[in-house]
Structure 1
Amino acid sequence: MRVLNLVTTPRSRFYRQQVEALTGHGVEETTLAVPGHHEYGESDNGRTVFDYARFLPTVLRHAAGNYDLVHANYGLTAPHAVLQARLPVVVSLWGSDLAGRYGQVSRLATRFADAVVVMSEAMADDLGRDCHVVPHGVDLDMFRPEPTGAARDRLGWRDDARYVLFPYPQGRAVKNYPRADRVVDAARDRVDGDLVLQSVQGVDHEDMATYFNAADVLLLTSRREGSPNVVKEALACNLPVVSTDVGDVRERVAGVTASRVSDDDDELADGVVEAVGVDGAPDGRAAARTVGRERCTERLLDVYRSVLDAA
């Protein structure tokens, strides 16, 4: 199977992992990225309408080659995919491309796609058409439980404190660090010992497992998400999760000990207090297995096959 991938940036960690996993299953791919400046993890700063316009001839030229389908990864590449008439089209929406400022572009383009992949049932409901729900998978070999003490030793964290992990830089507005700070402050007087809110910046992805294993709870206060991998990765390390009701987090943490989803600050603080004081064996890894990378890769391959069978 030969796939022409369209992306806004090939540096996306999720995208690189997807390509690696599909290549392991025999998929041959070529990646085309929208020209112009783009900082991964930020808004589409620096890009102009002209950049997207001059991307179209490149897509049309490659689509005339020896490919089986076009996969538009992120909604802003979907118009380019559907404007070529030769190959079947799969469009993947990642979250901000549906809920963000350019959501209408994604909605319009997906009407002409052969299949649409979204990260969560909530996104499918929002889009209002038949979709395949295939979240980004988590690497269960990279993210696995280890003793808390060993992880804290590597990070230089204290053994006598409780750590609430905010898994993003403080400055990313959509992740809403000020709310996390308020929630932890509200919980602080109800916890024995020091309660530390620990943000993360400049950490290599493979090192995040150490942070998950060193912390007592993951706190997510995002304003919007699709299917946040930090939640799945934390669960794979048996770290409880307390989160705002965004994306598919409620589905991911259903039934997981000491994990909670709420849009109320007091309830989020209650969740933090419960998580740092919980007794008994954690059980998040069992929930994470349902979104392991291998399983999610197979589901995406099934989407490809269904599109090709219908062509």
Structure 2
Amino acid sequence: MTKNKRILAISYLFPNSEQPNHGIFVLNRLTAMSKYADVTIINPIPDSPFHGFIGKFKSLKNIPETETMNGLTVYHPRFLSIPGYLKSIEINSYKRAVQKVIDTIGFDFDVVDLHWTFPDLPTGHYLSNRYDVPFNVTLRGMEAFHFQDNDVRQQVVKKYLKNVTKVISLSEEMATTANELAQTGSRTTVIRNGVDTDKFYYLDKTECRTTLGLPQDKQIILGVGALIHRKGFDLVIKALSTLTQQPKFHNLVFYILGSEGAEGDYRTELKHYVTEHNLQDHVVFQGAVANQQLITWYNAVDVFCLSSRGEGSPNVLTEALACGTPAVATKVGSVPEIMASEPDLGDVVENDDLAGLTKALDVVLSNTYDREEAAKRFNKYTWDWCAKEVAKTLAL
């Protein structure tokens, strides 16, 4: 691989100065890819006359037209988007926003690289035809198929997936779905996300608990994510109601790191489950935690639990495993591939299976793991590893 190919990366899902962690995994992969190709990024920002009056959209006005992130140039043109309505207008408004940037910087790229499906796919197809270059897309979660949206987005994704040159899927689950939807099988490669092993690695558990002020005599389960139904924290709380009846788990505590998410606020329901099962001494809602503190949390606990009902390639799971922390995870997204990549990482259970989750937590909490050795084995799956796999697939 020689650094002579030029990639135009386009993604609706991407971080910016106002939302630095929004789609951070896209930036991480493109940063790693920049070692093997020249990368330019266009991240169109939704805008309308209504955005300034809606609380969660107001800050989008502050995003600059251009910024530099990890040494990469990122363009943020605006496109017309009416929140919750008229998604069909975004197809052309998104395309015009991208073309406006290209008219300014010129088109001198070898491949168009998409990191979301709608409204990215129609724009990628248009650029591919206009400039006679291949266009590829990465499937980053089941939400990318828009099955949850009863509107034009479903049909658009199905239509344009049939025209994509190559598909990179973060999981076998999504690869299978794409093939059933748009016959993408021969054009698809499964490559999950990498992990930043400079930020996530083994540390002594006792020292980490001291740093965080956590009790040394407790067994601790950790969950990380937005407090929404999809993350499945309710399943862990219900599992605790069974586990804590056993004498060996009388000191078991579940710490949840996270706050309200874009998909809603499930805190009231979660706290109801805690009260209903009399688990006030066994569940702690820690709130949002800065990303740089997560390494200490992962290393401080006994088991990391990913209880999600849906994921793409969950970064929190690979981060925990990079620290050597054993995990219990539901069979969603790329979880099966991640958990099978090395021996003795923990256990995988079926989605939404309370009995299976309870049993797996019991087993993993009761076992002994060489966490330092596990971290060493897992640290090969870096973002550079991911970038090399992508570069190989795209023939860069």
**Same topology, TM > 0.5:** yes
2:125 alignment counterpart: 82
Displacement, 1:182?
A: 0.9
Q: Given that residues 186 and 266 in structure 1 are in contact (C-alpha distance below 8 angstroms), is that contact kept between their aligned partners in structure 2?
A: no
Name the CA distance, whole Å, in 2 between partners of 1:126 and 1:67.
30
Q: 1:258 to 1:235 in 2, by over 3 A?
A: closer
Tell whether 2:240 aligns with 1:184.
Answer: yes
SS in 2 for 1:182: helix
Tell whether 2:307 aligns with 1:221.
Answer: yes
1:160 alignment counterpart: 217
Tell whether 2:96 aligns with 1:57.
Answer: yes
SS in 2 for 1:35: strand
Q: 1:122 to 1:9 in 2, by over 3 A?
A: closer
Displacement, 1:227?
A: 1.5
2:26 alignment counterpart: 15
Displacement, 1:228?
A: 1.0
2:395 alignment counterpart: 305
SS in 2 for 1:165: strand
Displacement, 1:200?
A: 0.7
Displacement, 1:211?
A: 1.2
Aligned counterpart for 1:296 among listed residues 386, 391, 394: 386
Displacement, 1:176?
A: 2.0
Aligned counterpart for 2:159 among listed residues 108, 111, 117: 108
Q: Given that residues 258 and 278 in structure 1 are in contact (C-alpha distance below 8 angstroms), is that contact kept between their aligned partners in structure 2?
A: no
Aligned counterpart for 1:172 among listed residues 220, 225, 228: 228
TM-score by length of 1: 0.87
Name the CA distance, whole Å, in 1 between partners of 2:98 and 2:313.
28
Q: Where does structure 2 lack aligned partners over 5 or more consecutive residues?
A: 16-22, 58-80, 180-184, 259-287
Displacement, 1:286?
A: 5.5
Deviations, residues 157-191 of structure 1 (Å, cap 9, x unaligned): 1111111111113x222112212211222222233
Q: Where does structure 1 lack aligned partners over 5 or more consecutive residues?
A: 307-311
Name the CA distance, whole Å, in 1 between partners of 2:312 and 2:216.
34
Q: 1:108 to 1:154 in 2, by over 3 A?
A: farther
Q: Given that residues 8 and 34 in structure 1 are in contact (C-alpha distance below 8 angstroms), is that contact kept between their aligned partners in structure 2?
A: yes
Deviations, residues 42-95 of structure 1 (Å, cap 9, x unaligned): xx9936523443111123452861222111111111221112212210111101
Q: How many residues get paired? A: 301
Q: Given that residues 180 and 220 in structure 1 are in contact (C-alpha distance below 8 angstroms), is that contact kept between their aligned partners in structure 2?
A: no
Displacement, 1:115?
A: 0.7
Q: Given that residues 227 and 249 in structure 1 are in contact (C-alpha distance below 8 angstroms), is that contact kept between their aligned partners in structure 2?
A: yes
Deviations, residues 196-241 of structure 1 (Å, cap 9, x unaligned): 1111122232321111101111111111111111111111111111
1:46 alignment counterpart: 83
1:5 alignment counterpart: 9
Q: Given that residues 7 and 34 in structure 1 are in contact (C-alpha distance below 8 angstroms), is that contact kept between their aligned partners in structure 2?
A: no
1:145 alignment counterpart: 202
Q: Given that residues 74 and 91 in structure 1 are in contact (C-alpha distance below 8 angstroms), is that contact kept between their aligned partners in structure 2?
A: yes
Q: What is the aligned-residue RMSD (CA, Å)?
A: 2.4
Identity of aligned residues (%): 22
